[in-house]
Amino acid sequence: MTTANPIRGEADITIGRESFRVAVTFSGLTKLSQATKVLTVDELYRRLIGFEPFAVACAVRTLIVADDDDKASAFSARILDDSNISMADRDSWQEGIEKAFLAHIEGGHRHRDERSSHEMAEAAILGEQGRPS
């Protein structure tokens, strides 16, 4: 497996004997919000970090990186099989999902500040509180 791309909100997670990649995207969060009936990102994040079983199961299915929907479904089934996942996977899940969320946020910050080096230097030198473009 290639390394996770943090610019795309990706992080690697191991649950049981299955290693996989998730990508936190706004469309993925939308699907996850609909599936779990959670209205705010804060509540969604709290439930994921808390390793709430239904939220984790839905997140694995909606955020997993796979070539197509059939592969995502089959891979998710293996990950979420009772013979694979347990509360012992909580730390690995929390670390990975936190990395993915932070990568998504940082990617958004980088995307919003698309000023050139010259524009940033001008703003600093002229004492302007340059706003991201």
Q: 């839905």: which residue's tokens?
A: 58
Alpha-carbon span 7 to 10, nearest angstrom: 7
Which region among 2-6, 100-104, 119-123, 128-132 has the lowest average model confidence (pLDDT)?
128-132
At residue 113, the pLDDT reads 65
pTM: 0.80
Element (H, E) at 55: helix 53-63
Q: Any idea where the domains of the chain sit in the sequence?
A: 6-125
Residue pair 63/24 in contact by the 8 Å Cβ criterion: yes
Q: Per-residue pLDDT tens for 91-123?
A: 999 999 999 999 998 887 776 666 777 877 887
At residue 106, the pLDDT reads 87
